[in-house]
A and B are shown apart, each in its own frame.
Chain A
Amino acid sequence: MKRASGGDARRTRRGSRILVRAVLKTPLHAVIVVICFLWLLPSLGLFVSSLRPRHLIQQSGWWTAFETPFQFTLDNYSHVIESSNMGRSFINSLLIAVPATVFPTVIAVFTAYAFSRLKFFGRDAVFLVIVGLLVVPIQMTLIPVLRVFNQLRLTGTFLGVWLAHAAYGLPFAIYLLRNFIDELPVEMFESAQMDGASHFRIIVSLVIPTSVPALASLAIFQFMWVWNDLLVALIYLGGTPDVAPMTVTISHLVSSQGSGWEYLTAAAFISMLLPMIVFFSLQKYFIRGIVAGSVKG
């Protein structure tokens, strides 16, 4: 009996300590929750507005949409997809981003392997140049490349943008993968070489399978970079709606629609869908890639 009551007392004491700590932590929780809420509000406002009919958006704040009677509609979406070129632009964004991710990743794997595993004169010096290229502003390249593209008739073509994005992403991709391959156990390569495997074979059957996490981070990083890019598309694709990705189409909508919020919000939300899906489903790789990318400008 006695022992039991002693246990109870201890338990209450511990219980109250937890309670005290919880009370002390209330301001902390309040600050974090409020900030998170503030951070979500702008996107929430966009999403809610994209579902409201035109006349209401122009009349009242989106936060009033939660009052009855509810008035929501998908018309804005069907309008921007059909009439504002957003449907085509979504496909264009995909058609641009997928090859612009595959090209540099494939090239980088082999180049990074060469820098890591092959011995040749001036290897570190050449790699130093790549390190130097990491932060070179893209602006330094726009005019000369555009002039050559004009001559080769590559302006306004996907091929031109793919190659440009591949090149701009390449230094970082090589840098990241070389560091990764450097860390792989040497014994793995030695035993494969003993068995007479070619370098090509070693890459395909050893390096690529063991580098999946690094490759995933890199590919996601590059894909999001291209998907969200405005400048490169604007310069090399020009204003042709046929090839415009969503970023370009939306920026045109902003200047032509001005305050046509029902269309702007719907268009912007369509462009956010894929990044948000990638973010939530592949968060680990996504964040790792972005964090690794902080060395890049």
Chain B
Amino acid sequence: MEIAGILFTLAMALIVPVVFLSYLFVSEKAAGGRRRGTQTARSLPVFWLIPAAVVLGFFLIYPMIDTIVLSFMNADSTRFAGGENYAHLFSDRAFLIALRNNLLWIVFFTLVTVTLGLILAVLTDRVRYEAVAKAVLFLPASISLVAASVIWKFMYAFRPAGESQIGLVNAALSVVPGFQPQAWLFDVPFNNAALMVVGVWIWTGFALVIFSASLKGISKDLVEAARIDGAREITVFFRIVLPLMSKTVTVVVTYFVITVLKIFDIVYVMTNGNLDTEVLANRMYKEMFNFRNFGRASVIAVMLLVAVVPVVVMNMRKFARGKAGK
């Protein structure tokens, strides 16, 4: 039975692309194909865009519209509820906590990770084992957030004072005189910070790699000239290097803001949003599956969409400008 299931899965995985390719091949023949010197048939682009359009239409465009509609409906989407869900959420403590936590993540996580990434990019640029250092720091970005959460849940493991600690964080800090072991994931408000540390551990290497690439693009002559003029390293960095990297910094900050806005896995695995650590995506998941309230869950999704609209507009503008430049 198990083998049959696996074989069926593999067969499907082959059949779908084969069907897709045959469709493209046949549609080009049907559209008149291409003969020497003739124009491409007008209908070909239409045929070729249909598969992507169907997939994107069904999985992204239709659901977006439907989610907006559902946000104005009651829990099981049978009755129009007007702005009830919106009004309710903004008076709901759990939702407001989640909203606050997302803001905390956006501000503190982004600030720390970007700063650390920048510093490390500048530092590793000056040593010969740069590639090794970058690989080590980037490694956490390659594993799943779930695995990273298990790793850190263990790091934060807590035993009452007097017992031997099995979590590295408490064990290391017990060297400090007067330190009492902490249950990091349970102590409000430290637990939010403890979760953000996991994010910093995961994404610093990511920021580092991107900043490092941008740093390599800066002319060495420019930096050297400033040094000869007697500028201190700090001045060189803030006056010359950082301004030249500002575009990259914007890209990374934007990426982090969007990522953190939707952060889910770390909170789901480590605290499940208990003790004031919930974030919007976890709140939505609970509204969906624990409370079966699709109306309220949809409102949270709509909030997330509204928050990324500026980025959508920015990306579209950038693309339109790029096209005009060509």
Q: Which residues of A contact B (CB under 8 A)?
A: 25, 28-29, 31-32, 35-36, 39-43, 45-46, 49, 57-63, 91, 95, 98-99, 102-103, 106-108, 110-111, 113-114, 118-120, 123-124, 126-128, 130-145, 148, 158-159, 162-164, 166-168, 170-171, 174, 193-194, 196-200, 224, 227-231, 234-235, 246-247, 250-251, 254-255, 259, 261, 264-265, 267-269, 271-272, 275-276, 278-280, 283, 286-287, 290-291, 294-295, 297
Which B residues from 18 to 43 make CB contacts under 8 A with A?
Answer: 20-21, 24-25, 28, 33-36, 40, 42
Among A128, A145, A197, A235, contact of B320 (Cβ-Cβ < 8 Å) = A128
Residues on B with C-beta less than 8 A from A31 are 123
Least Cβ–Cβ distance between A200 and chain B, in angstroms: 5
A-B contact pairs, 17 of them (CB 8 A): A42-B140, A58-B166, A131-B319, A137-B308, A139-B284, A140-B63, A141-B63, A143-B70, A166-B55, A167-B55, A167-B58, A246-B144, A265-B150, A272-B147, A280-B135, A290-B209, A295-B251
A-B pairs with beta carbons under 8 A, tally: 315
Among A103, A133, A170, A255, contact of B272 (Cβ-Cβ < 8 Å) = A255
Q: Which residues of B contact A (CB under 8 A)?
A: 6, 9-10, 12-13, 16-17, 20-21, 24-25, 28, 33-36, 40, 42, 44-46, 48-49, 51-52, 55-56, 58-64, 66-67, 70, 120, 123-124, 126-127, 132-133, 135-147, 149-155, 157, 164-168, 171, 201, 204-206, 209-210, 213, 251-252, 255, 258-259, 261-262, 264-265, 268-269, 272, 281, 284-285, 288, 294, 297-298, 300-302, 304-305, 308, 311-312, 315-316, 319-320, 323
Asked if B123 contacts A139 (CB within 8 A), the reply is: no
Asked if B315 contacts A32 (CB within 8 A), the reply is: no
5 A-B pairs closest in CB distance: A167-B59, A228-B144, A141-B63, A99-B13, A144-B63
Least Cβ–Cβ distance between A25 and chain B, in angstroms: 7
Residues on A with C-beta less than 8 A from B252 are 294
Asked if A199 contacts B210 (CB within 8 A), the reply is: no
Least Cβ–Cβ distance between A14 and chain B, in angstroms: 18
Residues on A with C-beta less than 8 A from B55 are 107, 163, 166-167, 170
Residues on A with C-beta less than 8 A from B301 are 137, 139-140, 142-143
Asked if A32 contacts B124 (CB within 8 A), the reply is: yes
Residues on B with C-beta less than 8 A from A267 are 150
Asked if B150 contacts A268 (CB within 8 A), the reply is: yes
Determine chain B's interface SS by DSSP, over half rule: helix
Residues on A with C-beta less than 8 A from B33 are 198
Residues on A with C-beta less than 8 A from B12 are 99, 158-159, 162
Asked if B168 contacts A63 (CB within 8 A), the reply is: yes
> Closest residue of chain A to B126, judged by CB?
A28
State the CA gap A41–B197 with chains docked (Å). Answer: 14
Least Cβ–Cβ distance between B214 and chain A, in angstroms: 10
> Closest residue of chain B to A125, judged by CB?
B320
Asked if A131 contacts B143 (CB within 8 A), the reply is: no
Asked if A271 contacts B48 (CB within 8 A), the reply is: no
User: Known contacts A134-B315, A145-B63: does B16 contact A99 (CB below 8 Å)?
Assistant: yes
Residues on B with C-beta less than 8 A from A247 are 144, 146, 265
State the CA gap A79–B138 with chains docked (Å). Answer: 31
Asked if A199 contacts B28 (CB within 8 A), the reply is: yes
Asked if B141 contacts A137 (CB within 8 A), the reply is: no
State the CA gap A197–B302 with chains docked (Å). Answer: 47
User: Known contacts A114-B48, A132-B312, A143-B63: does B147 contact A268 (CB below 8 Å)?
Assistant: yes
Residues on A with C-beta less than 8 A from B56 are 130, 133, 167, 170-171
Least Cβ–Cβ distance between B40 and chain A, in angstroms: 6
Among A98, A134, A140, contact of B304 (Cβ-Cβ < 8 Å) = A140
User: Known contacts A102-B17, A107-B52, A291-B209: does B154 contact A28 (CB below 8 Å)?
Assistant: no
> Closest residue of chain A to B132, judged by CB?
A36
Residues on A with C-beta less than 8 A from B167 are 61
Least Cβ–Cβ distance between B105 and chain A, in angstroms: 15
Residues on B with C-beta less than 8 A from A111 are 48-49, 51-52
Asked if B67 contacts A144 (CB within 8 A), the reply is: yes
Residues on B with C-beta less than 8 A from A290 are 141, 206, 209
Among A35, A58, A142, A275, contact of B143 (Cβ-Cβ < 8 Å) = A275
Asked if A294 contacts B147 (CB within 8 A), the reply is: no
Residues on B with C-beta less than 8 A from A162 are 12-13, 16
> Closest residue of chain B to A253, judged by CB?
B150
State the CA gap A196–B58 with chains docked (Å). Answer: 36
Asked if A39 contacts B304 (CB within 8 A), the reply is: no
New A-B contacts (8) at CB < 8 Å, excluding given A59-B164, A143-B297: A35-B137, A43-B139, A99-B16, A136-B308, A139-B262, A140-B63, A199-B40, A294-B255
Least Cβ–Cβ distance between A160 and chain B, in angstroms: 10
Asked if B137 contacts A39 (CB within 8 A), the reply is: yes
User: Known contacts A31-B123, A43-B139, A139-B262: does B154 contact A196 (CB below 8 Å)?
Assistant: no
Among B21, B136, B146, B281, contact of A139 (Cβ-Cβ < 8 Å) = B281
Asked if B152 contacts A42 (CB within 8 A), the reply is: yes
User: Known contacts A145-B59, A198-B28, A231-B265: does B154 contact A140 (CB below 8 Å)?
Assistant: no
